[in-house]
């Protein structure tokens, strides 16, 4: 009797497939068997690419003469630590009674590669039927659907080609660039660090680019010189309530385009700010000095004997809607977890993978932030299941009662064109019994996924926004106010921190680089008073103030913002719509970014503060940056690195051929490797090493 063989990536996944099949499985050594089926697993990678010495023993010794190394036919070998399981899988794949093989490895490029390598080395007969199971969660219904709708494995040949190319790309760049740079510069690095052996220099297509991003940011911070500036504000009164307006040198101002300004809302010198107040009050200011948030504030309180008014020259009142953000993909989730819970991207991925394996959430290694139309049709099941989750049960019940899920397919949260392999990470609505076995941090991660998901079914938050311009003499002062009128989706927002952040956004006027924490929570009674103001009215000026500020250096990357910057081709883009526009142009993939950061930390090129998740380079990391910058500078180019990743995406989509991509890759590796062989600048690097070394010694 013929049998079906199901091959998964991990033993735990194999267990779920066996449960879903509902057959009387018996445990064997490395697999399970019933009358109808066999289920086995790969324990991750079973096969890897062979090192150069397997092609030729002489290649074990690193030499410039043998570079660049580019084999015509690539060799692969079984990983010794898992040779036993490979033998089990190979035997099952070639069993005479196995007619159909269901490939159930993770649904993505890496999962495809894991199986294809096993198939290749196991020499599975081509006449055996092979079908690909592609699922988004490990619930029983989804597993059975995946088996039922499994396509021929050949339908994924382009994805397989891109997987092989990605591995060859990392192999060729890693082997050739690491060897040539080590041979050329390793001794210089080692001598400088007073090491006995030549230092091995580790570089790669993605990791070196990430190192470059961190080092460049650190050097921008190091070279930054603070620029002080002085803002002038008036304090106005209406209905017994006061608020501030900020001076800006707009057209018509005496100071418009003046060299005295740092920018339109700040003077370079305090004396210029004092002069402005003097002109507006027709007297010498009597400034009282105080400290606020480590900054100096100078205030002139206007006495009751004086009459100083400002005329309202424009007032704009409008309501503003803010929709719930798009759903989580892995990068967005890693960023939020680093910010909220101070956990690394690697830890976030491990937690989300565990949630996936316990059937709580959908597939985590996804770049999409939207749902598919097919999922949207059945989304009430996910929502309904969340009624069993105490943290959000009331919100889930409200959505079902109001039916707000019914038109979700017509919103920006559903878009088939923005989905490649998988849709966004959402709760399955199942598996709640597993929540009790999770650690507290995993529970928090699940909660923010659930809240983000449910928030898209709520109406937008509605704000009342008022923008006011007043004039004293010919100078204009600007005020703006924002208050939350209707919570909308905010009532299910991830946590109190995010909720408060949303409510206070843009609450005060006149922010500058160092004053983004000076939010004011305007109450409804205050807004009511301001709403009654009209153009042409005069308001009494109660005080004039000079606030000292200073420009701020760029912020260091934390582990979460680094992941976002990698996703967006080296740009830390805050606006989610802009991020969506350049999707597919990232550095690395959702499955590999955390691992790359981890490696850079392990080899001591970067340091990660576990408490704050802030990333900084090490002395060695900066030295390697200088080596690469002097030899293969393009490795530090984020846009170029992203273009390689986009090329792989084009191969998987059938837009370019495997041969075309490989030709460009080999040409690039050969040019760069031969270029380094011809360089003679290794001794000139000492001046760069000296500069950075002085800085690190000063920190001790």
Give the CATH number for residue 93. Answer: 3.40.50.140
Question: Residue 441 pLDDT > 60, yes or no?
Answer: yes
Quick one: average pLDDT of 337-357?
A: 95
Asked, for residue 442, whether it belongs to a domain, the answer is: yes
Domain boundary among 498, 518, 550: 550
Question: Residue 432 pLDDT > 80, yes or no?
Answer: yes
Looking at residue 414, which CATH number applies to its domain? 1.10.290.10
Q: What is the pLDDT of residue 585?
A: 58
435 and 489 both lie in a single domain? no
Q: What is the pLDDT of residue 627?
A: 95
Asked, for residue 159, whether it belongs to a domain, the answer is: no
Quick one: average pLDDT of 139-168?
A: 96
The alpha carbon of residue 195 and the mean position of all alpha carbons in its chain are separated, in whole angstroms, by 37
246 touches 310 (CB < 8 A): no
CA-to-CA distance for 363 and 434, rounded, in angstroms?
17
Quick one: average pLDDT of 469-497?
A: 88
Q: What is the pLDDT of residue 265?
A: 93
Domain boundary among 532, 550, 568: 550
Q: What is the pLDDT of residue 150?
A: 97
Quick one: average pLDDT of 166-190?
A: 94
Question: Residue 43 pLDDT > 70, yes or no?
Answer: yes
Question: Residue 584 pLDDT > 60, yes or no?
Answer: no
Asked, for residue 607, whether it belongs to a domain, the answer is: yes
Q: What is the pLDDT of residue 370?
A: 96
pLDDT, one tens digit per residue, over 619-663 is 999 999 999 999 999 999 887 887 888 888 899 999 999 999 999
Q: How far is CA 367 from CA 333, 496, 599, in A?
A: 11, 27, 22
Question: CA quadruple 634, 639, 641, 647: dihedral positive or negative?
Answer: negative
Q: What is the pLDDT of residue 510?
A: 31
Cross-strand partners of 328: 425
Domain boundary among 455, 474, 497: 455
Q: Which of 231, 238, 230 is nearest to 310 (CA)?
A: 238
Q: Residue 191 belongs to what domain range?
A: 164-223+558-699
**What pLDDT band is residue 255 in, cutting at 50, 70 and 90?**
very high
**What pLDDT band is residue 516 in, cutting at 50, 70 and 90?**
very low
544 and 569 both lie in a single domain? no
Quick one: average pLDDT of 230-258?
A: 95
Q: What is the pLDDT of residue 264?
A: 92
Question: Residue 572 pLDDT > 70, yes or no?
Answer: no
**What pLDDT band is residue 503 in, cutting at 50, 70 and 90?**
very low
574 and 662 both lie in a single domain? yes
Quick one: average pLDDT of 381-406?
A: 96
Beta strand pairing status for 241-248 and 228-238? antiparallel
Question: Residue 83 pLDDT > 80, yes or no?
Answer: yes
How many domains is the chain partitioned into structurally? 4
Question: Residue 500 pLDDT > 60, yes or no?
Answer: no
Question: Residue 77 pLDDT > 60, yes or no?
Answer: yes
Least confident of 102-111, 319-328, 643-652: 643-652
Give the pTM: 0.87
Asked, for residue 154, whether it belongs to a domain, the answer is: no
More confident residue, 529 or 83: 83
The first and second tokens of residue 640, run together, are 């170029």
CA-to-CA distance for 376 and 245, rounded, in angstroms?
47
Q: What is the pLDDT of residue 526?
A: 83
355 and 408 both lie in a single domain? yes
Asked, for residue 446, whether it belongs to a domain, the answer is: yes
- Provide long-range contacts, Cβ within 8 A and 24+ apart, for 520-528: 522/481, 522/482, 522/483, 523/483, 524/483, 525/241, 526/241, 526/243, 526/481, 526/483, 527/464, 527/466, 527/481, 527/483
**What pLDDT band is residue 453 in, cutting at 50, 70 and 90?**
very high
618 and 522 both lie in a single domain? no
How much of the chain, in percent, has pLDDT values that exceed 70?
93
**What pLDDT band is residue 496 in, cutting at 50, 70 and 90?**
very low
318 and 367 both lie in a single domain? no
Asked, for residue 157, whether it belongs to a domain, the answer is: no
Looking at residue 310, which CATH number applies to its domain? 2.70.20.10
Q: What is the pLDDT of residue 174?
A: 93
554 touches 615 (CB < 8 A): no
Q: How far is CA 516 from CA 32, 338, 547, 551, in A?
A: 59, 20, 14, 12
Q: What is the pLDDT of residue 586?
A: 77
Q: Kindly report the average pLDDT of the chain as a whole number.
A: 90
Quick one: average pLDDT of 5-28?
A: 96
CA-to-CA distance for 344 and 594, rounded, in angstroms?
8
352 and 298 both lie in a single domain? no
377 touches 451 (CB < 8 A): no
Asked, for residue 260, whether it belongs to a domain, the answer is: yes
533 and 567 both lie in a single domain? no
Asked, for residue 478, whether it belongs to a domain, the answer is: yes
473 and 412 both lie in a single domain? no
Q: What is the pLDDT of residue 624?
A: 96
512 and 433 both lie in a single domain? no
140 and 176 both lie in a single domain? no
Q: What is the pLDDT of residue 511?
A: 36
Looking at residue 671, which CATH number applies to its domain? 1.10.460.10
Q: Which of 591, 587, 517, 518 is nearest to 557 (CA)?
A: 587
Q: What is the pLDDT of residue 577?
A: 56
Quick one: average pLDDT of 426-454?
A: 94
Q: What is the pLDDT of residue 590?
A: 85
194 and 316 both lie in a single domain? no
Quick one: average pLDDT of 547-553?
A: 94
Quick one: average pLDDT of 312-325?
A: 94
Quick one: average pLDDT of 196-203?
A: 86
Question: Residue 570 pLDDT > 70, yes or no?
Answer: no
Q: What is the pLDDT of residue 687?
A: 82
């Amino acid at each position: 009797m013929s049998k079906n063989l199901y091959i998964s990536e991990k033993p735990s996944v194999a267990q779920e497939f066996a449960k879903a099949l509902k057959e009387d499985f018996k445990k064997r050594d490395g697999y399970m068997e019933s009358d109808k089926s066999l289920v086995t697993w790969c324990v991750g990678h079973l096969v890897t690419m062979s090192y150069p010495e397997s092609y030729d023993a002489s290649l074990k010794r690193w030499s410039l003469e043998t570079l660049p190394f580019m084999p015509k036919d690539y060799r692969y070998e079984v990983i010794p630590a898992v040779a036993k399981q490979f033998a089990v899988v190979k035997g099952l794949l070639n069993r005479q009674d196995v007619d159909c093989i269901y490939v159930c490895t993770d649904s993505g490029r890496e999962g495809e590669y894991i199986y294809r390598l096993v198939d290749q080395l196991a020499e599975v007969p081509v006449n055996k039927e092979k079908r690909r199971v592609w699922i988004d969660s490990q619930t029983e219904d989804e597993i059975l659907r995946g088996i039922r709708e499994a396509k021929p494995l050949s339908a994924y040949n382009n994805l397989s080609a891109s997987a092989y190319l990605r591995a060859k790309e990392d192999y060729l760049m890693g082997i050739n660039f690491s060897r040539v740079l080590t041979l050329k510069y390793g001794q210089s690095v080692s001598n400088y660090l007073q090491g006995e052996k030549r230092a091995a220099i580790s570089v790669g297509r993605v990791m070196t680019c990430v190192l470059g991003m961190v080092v460049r940011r650190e050097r921008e911070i190091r070279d930054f010189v603070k620029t002080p500036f002085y803002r002038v504000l008036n304090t106005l009164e209406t209905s017994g309530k006061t608020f501030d307006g900020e001076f800006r040198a707009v057209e018509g101002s005496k100071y418009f385009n003046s060299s005295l300004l740092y920018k339109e809302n700040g003077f370079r010198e305090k004396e210029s700010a004092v002069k402005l107040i003097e002109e507006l009050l027709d007297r010498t200011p009597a400034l009282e000095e105080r400290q606020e948030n480590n900054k100096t504030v100078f205030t002139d309180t206007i006495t009751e004997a004086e009459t100083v008014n400002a005329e309202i020259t424009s007032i704009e009142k409008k309501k503003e809607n803010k929709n719930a953000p798009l759903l989580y993909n892995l990068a967005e989730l890693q960023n939020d977890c680093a910010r909220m819970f101070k956990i690394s991207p690697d830890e976030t991925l491990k937690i989300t993978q565990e949630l996936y394996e316990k059937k709580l959430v959908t597939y985590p290694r996804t770049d999409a932030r939207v749902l598919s139309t097919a999922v949207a049709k059945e989304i009430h099941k996910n929502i309904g299941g969340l009624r069993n989750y105490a943290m959000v049960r009331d919100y889930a019940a409200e959505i079902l009662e109001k039916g707000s899920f019914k038109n979700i397919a017509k919103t920006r949260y559903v878009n088939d064109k923005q989905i490649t392999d998988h849709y966004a990470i959402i709760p399955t609505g199942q598996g709640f019994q597993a929540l009790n076995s999770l650690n507290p941090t995993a529970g928090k991660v699940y909660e923010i996924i659930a809240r983000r998901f449910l928030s898209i079914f709520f109406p937008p938050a509605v704000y009342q926004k008022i923008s006011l311009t007043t004039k004293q003499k010919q100078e204009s002062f600007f005020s703006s106010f924002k208050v939350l009128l209707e919570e909308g989706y905010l009532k299910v927002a991830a946590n109190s921190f995010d909720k408060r952040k949303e409510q206070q956004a843009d609450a005060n006027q006149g922010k500058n680089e160092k004053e983004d924490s000076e939010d004011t929570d305007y109450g409804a009674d205050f807004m009511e008073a301001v709403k009654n103001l009209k153009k042409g009215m005069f308001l009494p000026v109660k005080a004039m103030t000079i606030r000292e500020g200073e420009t701020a250096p760029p912020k260091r990357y934390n582990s979460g913002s680094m992941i976002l910057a990698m996703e967006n081709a080296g740009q830390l883009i805050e606006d989610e719509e802009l991020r969506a526009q350049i999707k597919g142009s990232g550095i690395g993939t959702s499955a590999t970014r955390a691992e790359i950061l981890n490696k850079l930390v392990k080899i001591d090129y970067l340091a990660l503060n576990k408490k704050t998740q802030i990333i900084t380079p090490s002395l060695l990391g900066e030295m390697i940056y200088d080596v690469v910058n002097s030899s293969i500078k393009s490795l530090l180019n984020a846009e170029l690195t992203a273009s390689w990743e986009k090329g792989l995406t084009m191969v998987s989509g059938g837009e370019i051929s495997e041969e075309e991509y490989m030709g460009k890759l080999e040409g690039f590796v050969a040019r760069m490797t031969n270029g380094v062989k011809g360089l003679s600048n290794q001794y000139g690097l000492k001046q760069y090493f000296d500069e950075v070394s002085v800085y690190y010694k000063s920190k001790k």
